Amino acid sequence: MNQKKSPRNCKREYLARGHIFCGICGKKLAGETRIRGSKEYSYYRCVDWYKTCRTCKSLSYRADKLDDRIWKEVENVLEHPDLVTEAINALQAESGKAKAYEDELESIAARIKHYQVEKQSVYTAYRVGGDLDQFKTDLKIVTDELEALNERQAEIESRIEAVRKAEVNTEGIK
């Protein structure tokens, strides 16, 4: 391990080290102490900065200021534990809906299949009977239904995706 970056050389406790992430690239922020004259200055910095090929343009943040803000948030949560309970309940309520969403997705798939068959029948009816006005009317009904079902299907899929993410997030705190 690099001597300069070894934990023993940390001049300061970094409250948030390993728990906060760069807002630009998403990598962890590391703690860093710089000495200027007789004074020590502590910063948080995106770990990308230590690479030879840097891609992230993020700045460094004064550790005392950032820690202060985090402490205020922590204090706020400790004084209002219901904030945590509320957040967990909201996530779990969403997670409980997963089964209902899966069921709806199944019924939507069945209805899509139904209207696809229906669409074929509309074409067949036109080929046999040749009534263009009837064909146009019937086709519009079936097409509108299919469009609405496809929209609903996409919406449910994105909700299921959100529920899965919520489950991952609550795993560590249950």
Cα angle, residue 39 at apex, residues 38 and 45 outer, rounded to 5°:
140
Q: Which is nearer to Zn ion, 25 or 87 (CB)?
A: 25
Q: How many residues at the interface with Zn ion, by CB under 5 A?
A: 7
Least separation in angstroms between CB 63 and Zn ion = 16
Task: Please provide residue 29's backbone torsions phi and psi, each rounded to the nearest 5 degrees.
Answer: -100, 135
Q: Which is nearer to Zn ion, 24 or 117 (CB)?
A: 24
Residue from 10, 20, 25, 112 in contact with Zn ion (CB under 5 A): 25
* Residue 32 within binding range of Zn ion, rule CB under 5 A: no
* Residue 22 within binding range of Zn ion, rule CB under 5 A: yes
Contact string 33-62 vs Zn ion (x = CB under 5 A):
-------------x-x-------x-x----
Distance of CA 111 to the CA centre of its chain: 30
Task: Please provide residue 46's backbone torsions phi and psi, each rounded to the nearest 5 degrees.
Answer: -60, 130
Q: Which is nearer to Zn ion, 25 or 141 (CB)?
A: 25
Contact string 127-156 vs Zn ion (x = CB under 5 A):
------------------------------
Least separation in angstroms between CB 60 and Zn ion = 11
Separation between Cα atoms, residue 92 and residue 47, nearest integer Å: 33
Judged on CB neighbours under 10 Å (0-12, 13-18, 19+), 119 is middle
Least separation in angstroms between CB 5 and Zn ion = 17
* Residue 98 within binding range of Zn ion, rule CB under 5 A: no
DSSP conformation letters of 3-62: GGGSGGG--S--TTTTT-B-TTT-PBEEEEEEEETTEEEEEEEEGGGGSSS-------EE
Contact residues for Zn ion (CB under 5 A)?
22, 24-25, 46, 48, 56, 58
